[in-house]
Structure 1
Amino acid sequence: MSTASSRGESASGNVGPADSQDRLVTWALALAQLVSWGSVYYSFSLLVVPMEQAMGWSRTATNAALSVGLLVSGFAAYPIGRWIDHGLGRRVMAVGSVIAAAMLLVWANAQSLTLLFVAWIGLGIAMAATFYDPVFAVVTHRYPKSFRTKITLITLVAGFASTVFIPLTQFLVGTIGWRESLVVLAAVNLAICLPIHIVAIRSSRSQQGVKLPRETVKVVHDAATRRALRAPTFWALGVCFTAYYATFAALTFHLVPLMVERRVASAVLVTTMALIGPAQVAARALWFAFGRKLHASIVGIVVVTLFPLSTVILIGAGNSAWLLWLFALCYGAGNGMMTILRGTVVQDMMWTEGYGAVSGMLSFPSNIAKGVAPIAAASIWTVTSSYVPVEWAVLLVSIVSAIAFVAAVQLSRKR
């Protein structure tokens, strides 16, 4: 069934009520992503210092809790994606919002490192159930003909999470304290994300076409998941994303100390860091405006090239302000577009059936890499007492990511 009425349009091409409702749903899911990312992920860096000062915990211990959360998120990605494939998107994301709020409250009342780790184990599950992967799966299954536009819009709005929640969290910590700030962030999840996930997500299955029995849907998606494990394209994409997120995590967590080691002026350092976020949003806006109709492989080549290019610029920048700012623009733009690429490339280069589980399998090694890479980079620095070997390691792994993506493109064309 692909009539105009099923798309929410009249025969004359006018936008109908269904189309308007779909747009409202997309904007609502985008708002929920902004709040989920802002309240859980971006709040950590602002809460960790006052928490350490109040509790006497070490930086290693508190960051280890975050790493554990990322690892748990990786392990939880596959089963959560599989549940969404089977039509449980609303339950998964609504429960994820409840878990996020509950774990933020546990963190707010933590009097020991054990409770902090418990909170981040729970937040790892919440991240796997509420961040990009699950909402991409919901949108892909529900809107198979327009998922690219909707995913691009969602990432564009969510790109402002740090812009909104970093100053908001900083204000809360400065006025009411870090524990009370966590209570407020928990309440925001319950007040905004939970009702959106309950109301906006009716089902993660497509609105278009004949509704199939639940058991038939399950068989189709499970078969597609098994087929992915036999597809060389899947493994090439796995190498690409794992290598990319390893290098991105390593550089993100070590970029400030790297510039400090180079004796970069404070104003230049702050400006460099400040440019990354706007570059991410600007790149997503450009994709939304001009790149939505391009095949993911075409834009993907640009994306996977930008990261090694930005690393080369960083290596040669020294403490030059304009070169560091050029690096920040390329680095931020590449990461901004990578988020959209990650959400659309599986559908474009493989298939949409079983997307939730397939995406979850791709996220598993990527999330492990996010947790391990910063520690690995710190180990390299400890051995050499210099960030130069770290930069070259990042460049090497980013080139591996680019090569793997080119291989995935070629393999998908052969298929």
Structure 2
Amino acid sequence: MPTPTLATPHEADRPHARFETWALAAAQLVSWGTIYYAFSLFVVPMESAMGWSRTATNAALSAGLLVSGFAAYPAGMLIDRGYGRRVMAGGTLLAAAMLVLWAQARSLPTLFIVWGGLGVAMAATLYDPVFAVVTRDFPRSYPRKITLVTLVAGFASTVFIPLTQGLIGWFGWRAALLALALANLLVCLPVHGFVVGRGAPNEEAARRTTAREVSRASARNALRSPVFWALAVCFTAYYSTFVALTFHLIPLMSARTVAPATIILTMAAIGPAQVLARIVWFAIGRHARAARVAIAVTTAFPCSVAVLMCAGTSAAGLLLFAIVYGGANGMMTILRGTIVQDLLWTEGYGAVSGLLSTPANIAKGIAPIAGAAIWAIRRSYVPVEWTVLIVSLLSAVACVVAVRLAAKRTRRAD
């Protein structure tokens, strides 16, 4: 399936490429920490101060995730056309403005407006846009650079959860939100506004004359490709089950009467497992084919769910679950940024990636509510666990199908 191409500058001619990668990684750490991970820490203080229900506040988060899904494709199209700097800088400004508005919120409609804006900001600043920027700017070394970005950003929860909790305790939740807005302006805005590559003016002007057509053609070709649809099923099934299980993991273990210390140990192990998996990939990833890693990762996730189902209240069993579960997700983040280029193509990556992200992000928004609805049928997490297991197995099967279809297409081309 032919795909139009654009001329791309040789990476050796790009000055300060290493600095740009590290700067993007630092900005991702702050963006994830301030926009995404901080939310759960504000729920209880908001409930106490405003009297809002937990259902209502989480509905605002779900609305933001849904908006993020719908905004992913337009953001990717703009990045393909050479507007990565404007997209990411604009997303940072929007994120800061929404955090400031959140700090002034006195009613639930305001909170929903905030998360609608933060949904757009997430689509413009988090992994998908930075993956598109890195792929576009570094077509020869994007896998290693994406791995580095996700490795650094993997510490976002480690850094910002205690930091944000401290800010709330010291200054109150409204002042803490203002501090997070300031972090976006001081760290992310300079990176996204000045560090994101733009290329030489003449070259960039030449690229933009055909970038729209290339991006649209890539999107059309993707929609006609069985490989794309297999990947869409794979990522949508994976992220829906991962998010559903993540949001319900603590109540699930509590319903089993797992000891509080064991619950804390299990939750604490997930983050380091993600980072460790990314370190392993960073060290040996250049020697491994993304397709093989994809099958291993998507298989590891349902294996972790099976371990969880069999673990009962065992601390050892739950710790094993956390390690496999966290490790699988740590590698999936990198895989999400590299598998598209490996199985499809790099041209128009922003648009293709945005198309893939749309159903996955929508599923993320629906998953926590869907998990709660399944639990409510019998007021038991056993049906939830079985649903997560079955859907995660579907993700693994879809990944195998995508890899085989891509290999078959390559053989025909040869």
Q: Which residue does 1:152 correspond to in 2?
A: 147
Residue 186 (1) aligns with residue 190 (2): no
Residue 320 (1) aligns with residue 314 (2): yes
1:336 aligned residue (324, 330, 333): 330
Q: Which residue does 1:172 correspond to in 2?
A: 167
Q: Deviations over 1:26-74 (max 9, x none)?
A: 0000000000000010100101110111000000000000000000000
Q: 1:218 to 1:175 in 2, by over 3 A?
A: same
Residue 290 (1) aligns with residue 284 (2): yes
**Counterpart code for 2:121:** A
Q: Which residue does 2:394 correspond to in 1?
A: 400
Q: Deviations over 1:79-109 (max 9, x none)?
A: 0100000000000000000000000011000
**Counterpart code for 1:49:** V
State the distance in 2 between where 1:58 and 1:214 align.
48
State the distance in 2 between where 1:220 and 1:358 align.
11
Residue aligned with 1:292, SS: helix
1:11-410 to structure 2, matched below 5 A, reads 18=14, 21-203=16-198, 212-410=206-404
State the distance in 1 between where 2:41 and 2:200 align.
40
- Tell whether the 8 Å contact from 1:143 to 1:206 is kept in structure 2 after alignment: no
**Counterpart code for 2:326:** G
Report deviation, 1:118.
Answer: 0.5
Using the TM superposition, name which of 74-83 and 286-295 deviates more.
286-295
**Counterpart code for 1:313:** V
Residue aligned with 1:351, SS: coil
Ranges in structure 1 where 5+ consecutive residues have no aligned partner: 10-17
**Counterpart code for 1:354:** G
Report deviation, 1:232.
Answer: 0.3
State the distance in 1 between where 2:355 and 2:252 align.
33
Q: Which residue does 1:12 correspond to in 2?
A: none
Q: 1:78 to 1:266 in 2, by over 3 A?
A: same
State the distance in 1 between where 2:19 and 2:35 align.
24
State the distance in 2 between where 1:7 and 1:141 align.
10
TM-score if structure 1 supplies the norm length? 0.94
Report deviation, 1:211.
Answer: 7.8
State the distance in 1 between where 2:210 and 2:124 align.
24
Report deviation, 1:8.
Answer: 3.2
Residue 8 (1) aligns with residue 12 (2): yes
- Tell whether the 8 Å contact from 1:144 to 1:206 is kept in structure 2 after alignment: no
Report deviation, 1:220.
Answer: 1.9
Report deviation, 1:219.
Answer: 1.7
Structural RMSD (CA): 1.6
Ranges in structure 2 where 5+ consecutive residues have no aligned partner: 1-8, 410-414
Residue aligned with 2:287, SS: coil
In percent, how many aligned pairs have the same letter? 63
State the distance in 2 between where 1:211 and 1:142 align.
15
Report deviation, 1:215.
Answer: 1.7
